[in-house]
């Protein structure tokens, strides 16, 4: 009997020992990587130190650029918030996606246009591939009166977003209110309690990273507000206090917001490292369009476009070329740079490949995962952009890049400009008159790629 009891005790000890050593799989050993997109709002091509900024301090982002892959020829979806984000989310360029401007013709008025339910988002693709998904910050792809168009209804398990405009009862929504999972809860952003709006939003992200399911890979779309020039989002702080006499206050605050964004992104990386997840996470850092020139801020004060022509709402390089830093510890070679010509609509197929699933057949993008991993990369024949700013022909703009050539067409000029970006990066010398065949080729692209859209009166192109 004693031998039986002793034997049972030994078996019990062994079982307990096995239970102790057989811990759940490390977060690092998920079969597919986590994915994070960190998107700034109106951050110019030249506003990070790693992209040539000399005054505004971005030490952490510059460090990440030195440890990752920096793109020199990467482009937003277009040059203003809503359509650019629509391109990012759907993998469709602005000649094909529903949203072509911040507003369009809808319900007999000029107002916000939501994504169609038939347009698949990155969130929906990754959800279908078994990822848990989260969106925090600026969505800008829905309408206030229909919560099914908000992020929670478009592929995100967890969504914290601002909203503005009128709700279904005609009541004005305070955009400082952040809605958690649509209307299930709401939290008011009191800017007196935080260094900046992005600190408030980052708190949600850090909480999410602690509470999510560690047995499944995650996708986090973190949409910041910096450095968008809304007055009540301007931080009250003493950053760059030594410049008070030298800089206008609006410029000091602009610089401060970017430096504080740098701090918030550092908090994200620190949390991932503490959680043991940094090694198995692909992180993409970019901006939705070129630098802002609004609210008395001048995009030229800090050379925010890096000298490129134009700014937000232009389809010259300054309006659409943006930073992209890709970081994936141990997978992306440190300190590398690429001049691959890529755009927002390449993100969808890239993340689909990473998640071992399929992007929608409609995508205009090409997976750039090979480029991230230092492998042979397929290239675009051309890149395309359009935008409708206001209901007049003056607000319709198109552009295409074909290798070193860049074609630009503003609707009210009825003329296509042509620039050789290898010789003329700043688009100062229009050579259209001496290259008629290239202009003809460009016009074919501009006409073909802009599919008619009932919400945007000049889609399809403006040609005599």
| pTM over cut 0.75 | yes
What is the phi/psi pair of residue 396, to 5°?
Answer: -95, 125
Burial of 193 by CB count in 10 Å (0-12 exposed, 13-18 middle, 19+ buried)? Answer: exposed
User: Per-residue pLDDT averaged across 275-291, rounded?
Assistant: 97
At 176, the pLDDT band (50, 70, 90 cuts) reads confident
Q: What is the CATH number of domain 384-449?
A: 3.30.1120.10
What is the phi/psi pair of residue 190, to 5°?
Answer: -95, 105
Residue ranges, CATH 3.40.720.10, the chain: 29-381
pLDDT reading at 281 higher than 80: yes
Q: Could you tell me which of 306, 267, 271, 270 has the C-alpha nearest to residue 287?
A: 306
pLDDT reading at 21 higher than 60: no
pLDDT for the residue 184: 65
User: Per-residue pLDDT averaged across 378-395, rounded?
Assistant: 97
pLDDT reading at 235 higher than 70: no
pLDDT, tens digit (0-9, with 9 covering 90-100), for 342-367 = 999 999 999 999 999 999 999 999 99
Task: With H, G, I as helix, E, B as strand and everything else as coil, classify residue 346.
Answer: helix
Residue 451 to residues 93, 96, 443, Cα–Cα distance (Å)? 11, 6, 14
Query: Helix, strand, coil proportions of the chain in percent (round to 5)?
Result: 30, 20, 45
Class for the domain spanning 29-381: alpha beta
Number of helices (H), then strands (E), belonging to the chain: the values are 10, 20
If one counts every other C-beta atom within 10 angstroms of the C-beta of residue 405, the result is 19
Lowest-pLDDT range of 9-18, 227-236, 265-274, 384-393? 9-18
pLDDT, tens digit (0-9, with 9 covering 90-100), for 419-438 = 999 999 999 999 999 999 99
> What six digits make up the tokens of 207?
């909480």
Q: d(Cα 442, Cα 436) in Å, to the nearest integer?
A: 10
Q: d(Cα 88, Cα 223) in Å, to the nearest integer?
A: 12
pLDDT reading at 20 higher than 70: no
Percent of the chain, pLDDT > 70? 92
If one counts every other C-beta atom within 10 angstroms of the C-beta of residue 459, the result is 21
Mean per-residue pLDDT of the chain? 91
Between strands 132-137 and 158-162, the pairing is: parallel
Q: d(Cα 412, Cα 464) in Å, to the nearest integer?
A: 11
pLDDT for the residue 232: 57
Lowest-pLDDT range of 114-123, 229-238, 430-439? 229-238
Q: d(Cα 399, Cα 409) in Å, to the nearest integer?
A: 6
pLDDT reading at 172 higher than 50: yes
User: Per-residue pLDDT averaged across 1-9, rounded?
Assistant: 43
Residue ranges, CATH 3.30.1120.10, the chain: 384-449
Radius of gyration of the chain (CA): 24
User: Per-residue pLDDT averaged across 86-108, rounded?
Assistant: 97
pLDDT for the residue 193: 83
pLDDT reading at 189 higher than 90: no
pLDDT reading at 338 higher than 70: yes
With contact defined as beta carbons under 8 Å apart, do 232 and 192 qualify? no
pLDDT for the residue 105: 95
Q: What DSSP assignment string belongs to 350-371?
A: HHHHHTTS---TT------HHH
């Amino acid at each position: 009997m004693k031998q039986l009891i002793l034997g049972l005790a030994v078996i019990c000890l062994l079982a307990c020992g096995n239970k102790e050593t057989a811990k759940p799989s490390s977060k690092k050993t998920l079969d597919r990587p986590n994915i994070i997109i960190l998107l700034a709002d109106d951050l110019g091509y030249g506003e990070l130190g790693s992209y040539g900024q000399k005054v505004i301090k971005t030490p952490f982002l510059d460090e990440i650029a030195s440890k990752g892959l920096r793109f020199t020829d990467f482009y937003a979806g277009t040059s203003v918030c809503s359509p650019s984000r629509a391109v990012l989310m759907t993998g469709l360029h602005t000649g094909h996606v529903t949203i072509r401007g911040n507003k369009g013709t809808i319900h007999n008025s000029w107002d916000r246009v939501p994504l169609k339910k038939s347009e698949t988002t990155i969130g929906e693709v990754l959800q279908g591939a078994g990822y848990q998904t989260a969106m925090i910050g600026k969505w800008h792809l829905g309408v206030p009166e229909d919560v099914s168009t908000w992020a929670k209804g478009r592929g995100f398990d967890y969504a914290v977003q601002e909203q503005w405009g009128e709700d279904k009862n005609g009541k004005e929504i305070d955009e400082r209110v952040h809605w958690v999972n649509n209307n299930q809860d709401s939290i008011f952003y009191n800017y007196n309690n935080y260094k900046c709006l992005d600190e408030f939003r980052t708190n949600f992200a850090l909480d999410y990273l602690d509470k999510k399911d560690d047995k499944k890979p995650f996708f986090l779309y973190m949409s910041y507000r910096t450095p968008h020039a809304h007055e009540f989002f301007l931080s009250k702080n003493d950053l760059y206090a030594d410049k008070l006499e030298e800089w206008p206050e609006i410029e000091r605050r602009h610089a401060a917001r970017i430096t504080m964004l740098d701090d918030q992104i550092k908090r994200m990386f620190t949390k991932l490292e503490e959680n043991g997840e940094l090694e198995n996470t692909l992180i993409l850092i970019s901006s939705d369009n070129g630098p802002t020139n609004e609210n008395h801020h001048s995009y030229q004060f800090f050379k925010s476009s890096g000298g490129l022509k134009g700014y937000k709402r232009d389809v010259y390089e300054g309006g659409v070329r943006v930073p992209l830093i890709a970081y994936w510890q141990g997978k992306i070679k440190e300190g590398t740079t690429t001049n691959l010509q890529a755009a927002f609509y390449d993100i969808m197929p890239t993340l689909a490949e990473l998640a071992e699933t399929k992007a929608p057949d409609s995508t205009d993008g090409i997976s750039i995962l090979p480029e991230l991993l230092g492998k042979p990369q397929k290239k675009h024949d051309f890149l395309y952009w359009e935008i409708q700013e206001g209901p007049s022909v003056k607000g319709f703009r198109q552009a295409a890049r074909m290798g070193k050539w860049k074609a630009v067409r503003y609707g009210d000029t009825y003329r296509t400009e042509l620039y050789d970006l290898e010789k003329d990066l700043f688009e100062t010398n229009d050579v259209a008159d001496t290259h008629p065949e290239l202009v003809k080729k460009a016009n074919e692209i501009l006409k073909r790629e802009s599919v008619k859209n009932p919400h945007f009166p000049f889609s399809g192109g403006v040609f005599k």
